Amino acid sequence: MPQIKLPELVCPAGSLPALKAAVDNGADTVYFGYKNSTNARNFAGLNFDEKAMIEGIRYAHARGRHVLMAINTFPQPGREAEWRRAVDGAADLGVDAVILADVGLLDYASKRHPDLRLHLSVQGSATSYEAVNFAQREFGVRRAVLPRVLTLAQVELVIKNTSVEIEVFGFGSLCVMNEGRCWLSSYATGESPNTVGACSPAKFVKWEKAPGQMNTRLNGILIDRYDDNEPAGYPTLCKGRFEVNGETYYALEEPTSLNVLEILPEIVKIGVSAIKVEGRQRSPAYVAQVTRTLRAALDELGRDVDHFKVKPTWQTELAKVSEGVQATLGAYNRPWR
């Protein structure tokens, strides 16, 4: 029976109970971030203060798991010190690695904390092995998270041409995935993940219930209208329905979720080091459900990679928590090159 090295399962935590749910349900690694704009999931009331971080790291390390800190937004002019402080804090707390996007911050971290392990965030938007190798040469980056725009063949090409570990997304909500370069939210609200750490911040969102339908407004702009039985999605501009040439439809992107279960054997065979689950904004219940399902799938794969079959119960469990009506393989199986 062919033995195979299983990729690390990397799961999200927006709160301490979510972190514990990830660890208890089989995550190898959890990632979290501060309650401020150094974090690309900077939503009201979400994330960790230092006390919760200390307890989370203790809980994970006591069970032999790893903890990563995401400092994955871009320092704003005149406020660089806030981002540097976050990196210093991560080093002091003893996380296993920091996930950074900004080259200036990568430079700071590599010089100030030479022993701190650096991961290149998906927000760093490195889609080629040249970009990944640049980050390795200049800053000693040990792992890169690839944006969700590459096909499986393209991911394989990157892996073959770098010694940097490669992490890819395995499950979670999708958007237009112009990762680290998207300003759509700013277009409607003046704020975006790159600047304040949140796409479509909640203070700009209004859900208006009317008989038989619900309107979604972002900063007053009507971006979608759902019938009562239609599934809803996150209130982002890219997933809105717009009138284009007399037709109203999802002109940019439909609300969908990525789900790679079907191609898990291929992902593992090409040598992916880690599989990431999206969703630090979600509750502990989601983290538990998704982690448990992917753990079961990876363990099954570890037993015999050539006879791996996706169990319908896994798909049902993942479909239930998904955004949008469909789960897709994202870009992994697109024909483009």
Partner 1 sequence: MFESFPKSFTIPSFKLPTFVSAVGAKLPQWPHAVVLTTGLNAAVKMRLLPEDSLELLEGKTFLVEVLDTGSHARFTFRGGLFRPLFKTGSPATSEGATVVDDLVFRANLSAFLQLVARQEDPDTLFFNRQLTIEGDTELGLVVKNMLDAVEWPKLPHFPGFATSSR
The C-alpha angle with vertex 168 and arms to 259 and 189, in degrees rounded to 5, equals 80
Report whether 295 contacts 323 (CB < 8 A).
Answer: no
Beta-bridge partners for 165: 143
Assess 17 for contact with partner 1 (CB under 8 A).
Answer: yes
SS3 (DSSP) at 31: strand
Report the C-alpha gap between 328 and 337 in whole angstroms.
Answer: 19
Q: Which stretch binds partner 1 (CB under 8 A): 14-22, 108-116, 134-142, 259-267?
A: 14-22
Q: Which stretch binds partner 1 (CB under 8 A): 3-11, 94-102, 176-184, 221-229?
A: 221-229
Assess 44 for contact with partner 1 (CB under 8 A).
Answer: yes
Nearest CA among 161, 160, 156, 129 for reference residue 144: 129
Which tokens belong to 74? 């871009």
Which residues within the stretch 265-324 sit at the binding site for partner 1 (CB under 8 A)?
281-286, 288-289, 292, 295, 320-324
Least distance from C-beta 324 to partner 1, angstroms?
A: 7
CB closer to partner 1, 81 vs 319: 319
Report the C-alpha gap between 223 and 144 in whole angstroms.
Answer: 34
Q: Which stretch binds partner 1 (CB under 8 A): 99-107, 122-130, 195-203, 268-276?
A: 195-203
Q: Which stretch binds partner 1 (CB under 8 A): 4-12, 46-54, 101-109, 175-183?
A: 46-54
Work out the number of other CB atoms within 10 angstroms of the CB of residue 12: 26
Give the residue, chosen from 50, 58, 187, 207, that forms a contact with partner 1 under the rule CB under 8 A: 207
The count of chain residues that interact with partner 1, using the rule CB under 8 A, is 45
Report whether 56 contacts 69 (CB < 8 A).
Answer: no
Least distance from C-beta 76 to partner 1, angstroms?
A: 21
SS3 (DSSP) at 277: strand
Give the residue, chosen from 153, 176, 205, 270, that forms a contact with partner 1 under the rule CB under 8 A: 205
Report whether 121 contacts 39 (CB < 8 A).
Answer: no
Q: Give the x/- contact pattern for partner 1 in 144-163, rule: CB under 8 A.
A: --------------------
Assess 230 for contact with partner 1 (CB under 8 A).
Answer: yes
- Report residue 14 CA to chain centroid gap: 12
Assess 172 for contact with partner 1 (CB under 8 A).
Answer: no
Which tokens belong to 86? 């976050």
Q: What region, left, alpha or beta, does residue 324 occupy, with left being phi > 0 and alpha being psi -120 to 50 degrees? A: left
Q: Which stretch binds partner 1 (CB under 8 A): 127-135, 147-155, 164-172, 202-210?
A: 202-210
Give the residue, chosen from 208, 306, 311, 313, that forms a contact with partner 1 under the rule CB under 8 A: 208
Least distance from C-beta 15 to partner 1, angstroms?
A: 4
SS3 content of the chain, % helix, strand, coil (to 5): 40, 20, 40
Give the residue, chosen from 24, 80, 88, 266, that forms a contact with partner 1 under the rule CB under 8 A: 24
Which residues contact partner 1 (rule: CB under 8 A)?
14-18, 24-26, 43-46, 49, 52, 201-203, 205-209, 214, 226, 228-233, 281-286, 288-289, 292, 295, 320-324
